[in-house]
């Protein structure tokens, strides 16, 4: 792993760690309204200032991180799971199943992704599960495409032929021989795409389709405070910076992974959710 | 060539049917009844029934879908539940604005993107290359809605040289198109850089150099012509991301285009509007990709166009 990869991992670990332990260390409650201290600039009491309801910005960012990162990671893993299953079935069975699955994949990749994610998330009442479902409903297609390619490639290799020759059943070949060969690639691809998931998650929260107020998420913090960008910039800058920083670290880490494992063609650069 | 294009266009039909099916299923599953949103919760049952009949919501889902598709086949998209205006007319009047935004974003993104990408690749490993590469990674990672706010803060609230929002001429289009262009610019830089680095090590570049061709014309003729192909794909795909980005940018900057129209439709649960926008956006995206494939053929005769390549 290169130097940038190591640095990004460290920063991400810090963000994860502090978000995770936030309930144990912060003095304030993220949603407690304190009308005596509204829109205060950064100070010793409030390192990043307070918002227009007197809530501590740092506390809200830490709590928001639990949701924003959690939702993105779970959605990425869900996409990976669905993509892995569909891609493997499609590649292994072939024929009509393959044709139908790939037609569906093509169809989903044909949609401008954020539009489709918005479309899916208005179906369900706004909330974190809705965002997870919307992200994975859009995201699984590119995983399925990659996994299908991998299985098509592996299917012809000698060890699968050998497994077939000694009488392994189809199910055994799929689970015991093909799956372990596909999972590492799928995990690397997940790492590559996490930056995109973070950005889409925050965009959906920004549009008000994610967790509802008073719950803090990074995207909704930018959205709720954006009217004060000129008069109270400390309310808008920190959540935006933390989204950008997290996405940047995931992207740099993904770049490292891409170089190491040599996957994700250039055409794929733009295909994150 | 033309056979290939015709084949691709025929393949569009099942694709379109699929798209209408997905969007139709999506809008049918939306919570809330548009009839009640139209007439209000406390209207008398007779009025509710009358409106339900008027917008055709009393028929079965399948019949509604068939009705919608046959309407589409006639080149209609129905009327908005709220304004009772034809959706297609509204889209037509807003479309040029989004197109202008996308075109302006492309003008901002493409030439500097290719230029900086080439520049960085030819100085691989140097300080300037590292700065350009890092900066492009940062721009990819910026959330559009936040960079839009920063741009608005800087240019209209601090410097006070451009209006923060509204639809209009050049003064209004600059900020939203800049917001839209930043991630595209960064992607184009990265793809150009990788692509040029691929080409630089090819034997024919060495041959050209051995023949004594000037470095400048090697860069322009030999390297760029070959390196541009993947860049073209990304520019085509970027059009899709403009449609994505347009939803956010147009909402922030109050630009009266398709993106904002879509968002308004979603907020008001205006089914015909949502479906119309998604269908128009997707068809456009698919057509642009077809166009890119055709342009490929002219730039690079090695690319053969036949069948659907997977």
- Range ranked top by mean pLDDT from A38-42, A243-247, A264-268: A243-247
Give the pLDDT of residue A267.
Answer: 39
pLDDT, one tens digit per residue, over A205-232 is 888 888 888 888 899 888 888 888 888 8
Judged against a pLDDT cut of 60, whether residue A258 lies above it is answered with: yes
Residue B308 has pLDDT above 60, yes or no: no
CB contact under 8 A, A269 and B240: no
**Cβ neighbours of residue A265 under 8 Å, at least 6 residues apart?**
none
Per the prediction, chain B carries an average pLDDT of: 81
Q: What is the pLDDT of residue A273?
A: 33
Please indicate whether residue A145 or residue B14 has the higher confidence score (pLDDT): A145
CB contact under 8 A, A207 and B251: yes
Residue B51: the pLDDT is: 76
Residue B199 has pLDDT above 80, yes or no: yes
Q: What is the ipTM of this complex?
A: 0.81
| A107 contacts on B by Cβ (under 8 Å) | 15, 18-19, 22
Compare A121 and A154 and report the one with higher pLDDT.
Answer: A154
Residue B233: closest C-alpha in chain A: A267
What pTM was estimated for this model as a whole?
A: 0.83
The mean pLDDT value for B15-27 works out to 75
Q: Reply yes or no on whether the pLDDT at B284 is more than 60.
A: yes
A13 at interface of B, judged by CB pairs closer than 8 A: no
CA distances from B202 to B126, B195, B227 (A): 21, 12, 11
Q: How far is A46 from chain B (nearest CA, A)?
A: 23
CB contact under 8 A, B146 and A270: no
Going by C-alpha positions, the residue among B185, B190, B142, B134 that lies closest to residue A268 is B190
Q: Is the pLDDT of residue B44 over 80?
A: no
Residue A22 has pLDDT above 90, yes or no: no
Structure tokens at B38: 């139209």
The alpha-carbon gap from B70 to the nearest alpha carbon of chain A, in Å, equals 21
CB atoms B187 and A195 under 8 Å = no
Least confident stretch, A216-220, A253-257, B51-55, B279-283 = B51-55
Question: Band of the pLDDT at A102, cuts 50, 70, 90?
Answer: confident
Would you state the pLDDT for residue A24? 78
Mutate: best of A90, A91, A122, partner B, most B CBs <10 A: A122
Report pLDDT digits (tens) over B75-100: 777 788 788 788 888 888 888 888 88
pLDDT at res. A69 = 92
Q: Is B121 on the interface with A (CB under 8 A)?
A: no
What is the band of A13 on the pLDDT scale with cuts at 50, 70, 90? very high
Q: Do A88 and A185 contact (CB within 8 A), yes or no? A: no
Weakest mean pLDDT among A140-144, A259-263, B221-225? A259-263
Bigger pLDDT: B160 vs B115: B115
Considering only CB atoms, A243 lies closest to which of B143, B187, B282, namely B143
Q: What is the pLDDT of residue B157?
A: 81
**Omega before B47 within 30 of 0, i.e. cis:** no
Q: Do B234 and A270 touch (CB under 8 A)?
A: yes
Are B140 and A251 in contact by the 8 Å Cβ rule? The answer is: yes
Of B128 and B241, the one with more pLDDT: B128
| Strongest mean pLDDT among A77-86, B154-163, B183-192 | A77-86
The 10s digit of each residue's pLDDT in B205-222 is 888 888 888 888 887 778
> In chain A, what percentage of residues exceed pLDDT 70?
95
Contact: A269, B238; criterion CB under 8 Å:
no
**Whole-number percent of chain B with pLDDT over 90:** 10
Q: Taking CB atoms and an 8 Å limit, are B190 and A252 in contact across chains?
A: no
């Amino acid at each position: 792993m290169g130097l940038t990869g190591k640095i990004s991992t460290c920063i991400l670990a810090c963000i994860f760690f502090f978000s995770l332990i936030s309930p144990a260390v912060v003095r304030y409650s993220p949603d407690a309204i304190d009308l005596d201290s509204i829109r205060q600039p950064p100070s010793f009491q409030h390192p990043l200032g307070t918002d227009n309801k007197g809530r501590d910005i740092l506390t809200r960012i830490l709590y928001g991180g639990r949701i924003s990162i959690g939702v993105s990671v779970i959605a990425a893993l869900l996409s990976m799971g669905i993509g892995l299953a569909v891609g493997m079935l499609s590649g292994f069975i072939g024929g009509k199943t393959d044709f139908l699955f790939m037609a569906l994949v093509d169809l989903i990749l044909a949609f401008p992704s954020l539009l489709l994610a918005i479309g899916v998330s208005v179906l369900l009442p706004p909330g974190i599960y809705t965002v997870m479902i919307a992200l994975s409903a859009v995201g699984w297609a590119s995983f399925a495409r990659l996994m299908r390619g991998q299985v098509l490639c592996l299917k012809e290799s000698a060890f699968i032929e050998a497994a077939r020759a000694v009488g392994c059943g189809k199910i055994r070949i799929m689970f015991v021989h093909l799956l372990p060969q596909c999972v590492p690639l799928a995990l690397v691809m997940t790492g590559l795409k996490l930056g995109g998931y973070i950005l889409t998650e925050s965009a959906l929260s920004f549009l008000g389709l994610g967790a509802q107020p008073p719950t803090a998420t990074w995207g909704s913090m930018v959205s709720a405070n954006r009217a004060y960008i000129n008069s109270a910039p400390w309310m808008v800058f920190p959540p935006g910076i933390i989204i950008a920083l997290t996405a940047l670290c995931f992207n740099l880490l993904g770049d490292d992974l891409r170089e190491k494992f040599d996957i994700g063609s250039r055409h794929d650069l733009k295909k994150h959710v | 060539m033309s056979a290939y294009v015709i084949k691709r266009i025929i393949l569009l039909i099942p694709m379109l049917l699929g798209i209408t099916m997905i969007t139709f299923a999506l809008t049918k599953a939306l919570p809330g009844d548009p009839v009640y949103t139209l007439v209000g919760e406390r209207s008398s049952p007779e009025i509710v029934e009358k409106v339900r009949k008027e917008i055709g919501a009393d028929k079965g889902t399948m019949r509604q879908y068939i009705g919608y598709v046959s309407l589409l086949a006639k080149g209609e998209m129905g009327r908005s539940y709220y304004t009772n205006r034809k959706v297609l007319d509204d889209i037509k009047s807003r479309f040029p604005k989004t197109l202008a935004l996308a075109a302006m974003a492309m003008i901002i993104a493409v030439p500097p993107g290719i230029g900086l990408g080439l520049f960085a690749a030819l100085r691989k490993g140097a300080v300037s290359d590292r700065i350009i590469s890092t900066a492009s990674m940062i721009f990819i990672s910026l959330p559009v809605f936040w960079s839009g706010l920063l741009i608005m803060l800087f240019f209209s609230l601090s410097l006070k040289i451009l209006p923060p929002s509204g639809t209009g001429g050049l003064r209004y289009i600059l900020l939203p198109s800049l917001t839209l262009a930043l991630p595209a610019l960064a992607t184009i830089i990265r793809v150009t850089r990788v692509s040029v680095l691929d080409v630089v090590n090819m034997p024919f570049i060495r041959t050209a150099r051995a023949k004594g061709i000037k470095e400048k014309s090697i860069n322009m003729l030999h390297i760029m012509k070959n390196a541009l192909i993947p860049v073209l794909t990304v520019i085509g795909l970027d059009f899709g991301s403009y449609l994505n980005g347009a939803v956010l940018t147009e909402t922030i900057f109050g630009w009266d285009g398709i993106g904002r129209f879509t968002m308004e439709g979603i907020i008001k649960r205006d089914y015909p509007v949502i479906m119309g926008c998604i269908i128009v956006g997707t068809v456009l995206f698919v057509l642009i990709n077809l166009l890119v494939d055709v342009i490929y053929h002219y730039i690079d005769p090695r690319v053969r166009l036949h069948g659907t390549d997977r």
